[in-house]
Chain A
Amino acid sequence: MSTQESLCWKTNDHFVMAGRCIRHLTRSLDNLLIVIALPIMMMLLFSSVFGGAIQIGGDENYVNYIVPGILLICIGYSASTTAVSINMDMSQGIIDRFRSMPIAKSAFITGHVIASVFRNIISTTVSILAALVLGFSPKASLTEWLTTILILLLFALAMTYLSTIFGLLAKTPEGAGAFGFFMLFLPYVSSAFVPLETLPKALRLFAEHQPITILIEALRSLFANTSSPFTFEAIIWCSGILIVSAFIAGQIFRRKTV
């Protein structure tokens, strides 16, 4: 087999695996709920229920304030379902079938990652549409939109690979699912919904330095068309997490599957 031919087959393997995972998305109601209902419910909850009670100072529109946080929660949670699907595949017979076939080693994980990105594109689009309906008024220029998309994409990839690690290490699908809660709650300890000054000191120290806050500040200034030092920092954080977790996930998978 020529190198070119073999490269062609390898690409084919990745697409077949991704196609499988994307099909799963349309077959299970839970997945569909996470992808479509979660963003809408979060937007409604924060803008209507908490929106009246939380004062963020100034005359800022609260919907504008919360959009970055909700985008990150939805992406994080949706990426975290990768942990459960990978864990289920690993614990059922199907992984043995794949491993005993002449297919590209990396295709199994890449398939899940591509499906996760696909899922996130849908869920982020739904989030933004819901936000627009509720009064979100971004002032971002085209470049800022593109930067926003880049940051969100890097974040989605980073969280997907991170949850891949959990999926590979967890003993049961339930255990792997716990990663979702972590992703669901981490953004609350950041500037996502309340200004940091309102937090108790210890929490505030954590919140100020955790990457979610940096991402949120970056997205907020991108949407508001104001420059901020956080954009670059956010890209570095996401790329860093992505590279490290993709490497670790690859190593664990290799070790687990010889």
Chain B
Amino acid sequence: MQVENNVIQIRGLKKSYKRMEVLKGVDLNIKKGSIFCLLGSNGAGKTTMVKILATLLKADSGEVILSGCDVKENPEQVRSVISLTGQYAAVDGLLTARENLRMVGRLNHINNVKAKTDQLLREFNLEYAADRPVSTFSGGMRRRLDIAMSLIGNPEIIFLDEPTTGLDPQSRIEMWKIIREMAGAGVTVFLTTQYIEEAEQLANHIAVLHEGIIIAQGSAQELKSKLAGGAVLLGFEDTSSYITAQQVLKGCSYKLNDDTLTIEVATDGSVKQMANLLSNLNGTNIAYLEQKQASLEDVFLTLVAN
């Protein structure tokens, strides 16, 4: 992995609150323009990690480099390249959507606040409510405004701490679309979630945080294949092939289904084992073959249980 591609580099990150060790040495590299997802249960240390990365909290030890700037040495510089959307919508309820955006635009010292505000209101479908106090907004609207406010300063990295918690399914899907569009525009998205489906839907790279350490990481595909216990489902054309196959497979671990004439054979997911299996079965009439993978949920639960 090339170092210059990694817009976020974390080495040996540790943090304790009093005697509670929350982060016990986290290492991560995140590529520019990707969607990274930190997956973990409640209390796994996700928010603590986001707070450290967003300069709100000091780590006890370890190094965090964001877009070339050290978070500890140079927090001011880091703040000018990041944007944070915390767990609770960080919007000002008494102000209107337009006023919220303008305020954050001015605080970000951008030049064309007015034009940028109008553009974001349009892009986030908030034009119709632009001049209403935000306290009258629904949860989904608040979240959209929240993200728009995070984008007005043109950040390189955006931190989203559980962006869809508490949203209805429709707003959640809308939020996913927004997140994909942000990454499409070149923003690196660092996302935390407790929803496995969300990680699977969005992330290029997933890391599972459990009790303060990263217990697994990779793409959703890689994580699934990591879990031994994948299987191949073989469907046969006729009963004789079905019976022959059972004799060939003696010694393997398999599950039969007489009604559908299918056999599910456990594999370790390797190509070699698969090739062996198929060459042994040469001569039987295989109607179809389906690779069955463990779901990300299985992976997560297995990892966390160990």
A: which residues have CB within 8 A of B? 9, 12-13, 16-17, 19-20, 23-24, 27-28, 92-94, 96-103, 257-258
Contacts and interface: CB of A to CB of B under 8 A. Distances in A.
A16 B88 CA distance: 23
Contact of A102 (B51, B91, B92, B109): B109
Contact of B87 (A19, A93, A94, A102): A93
Given A12-B109, A100-B79, A94 B90 contact: yes
Interface in B72-92: 76, 79-80, 82-92
Contact of B83 (A13, A19, A20, A100): A100
Interface string B220-246: 000000000000000000000000000
The majority secondary structure among interface residues of chain A is: helix
Contacts of B83: 100
29 contacts: A12-B106, A12-B109, A16-B106, A19-B103, A20-B92, A23-B99, A24-B94, A27-B94, A27-B95, A28-B94, A93-B89, A96-B54, A96-B86, A96-B90, A97-B85, A97-B90, A97-B104, A98-B107, A99-B55, A100-B54, A100-B55, A100-B56, A100-B83, A101-B107, A101-B153, A102-B80, A102-B109, A258-B57, A258-B58
Contacts of A12: 106, 109
A12 B86 CA distance: 25
A102 B154 CA distance: 13
Contact of A94 (B76, B92, B106, B150): B92
Contacts of B108: 101-102
A93 B86 contact: yes
B82 A16 contact: no
Nearest to B57: A258
B149 interface: yes
Contacts of A20: 92, 95, 103
B94 A100 contact: no
Contacts of B79: 100-102
The majority secondary structure among interface residues of chain B is: loop
B56 A23 contact: no
Given A16-B103, A101-B108, A96 B94 contact: no
A156 to B, nearest CB: 22
Contacts of A103: 107
Contacts of B139: none
A257 B103 CA distance: 21
Contacts of A13: 107
B239 to A, nearest CB: 64
Interface of B: 51, 54-58, 76, 79-80, 82-92, 94-95, 99, 103-104, 106-109, 133, 149-150, 153
A92 B94 contact: no
B89 A23 contact: no
Given A93-B87, A101-B107, 18 more contacts: A9-B109, A12-B109, A16-B106, A20-B92, A24-B94, A27-B95, A27-B133, A28-B94, A93-B86, A93-B88, A94-B91, A96-B86, A97-B86, A97-B150, A100-B82, A100-B83, A102-B79, A103-B107
B169 to A, nearest CB: 23
Q: Which 4 A-B pairs have the closest CB atoms?
A: A93-B90, A97-B90, A93-B88, A100-B84
Contacts of A97: 84-86, 90, 104, 149-150
Contacts of B90: 92-94, 96-97
Given A96-B84, A100-B56, A16 B91 contact: no
Contacts of B56: 96, 99-100, 257-258
A17 B88 CA distance: 21
Nearest to A24: B94
B13 to A, nearest CB: 16
Nearest to B88: A93
B55 to A, nearest CB: 6
Counting chain A CB atoms within 10 Å of each CB, the highest count among B91, B95, B106 belongs to B106
Contacts of B87: 93
A125 B107 CA distance: 32
Nearest to A16: B106
Nearest to B55: A100
A97 B79 CA distance: 10
Contacts of B94: 23-24, 27-28
A108 B280 CA distance: 73
A119 B206 CA distance: 50
Contacts of B54: 96, 100
A88 to B, nearest CB: 10
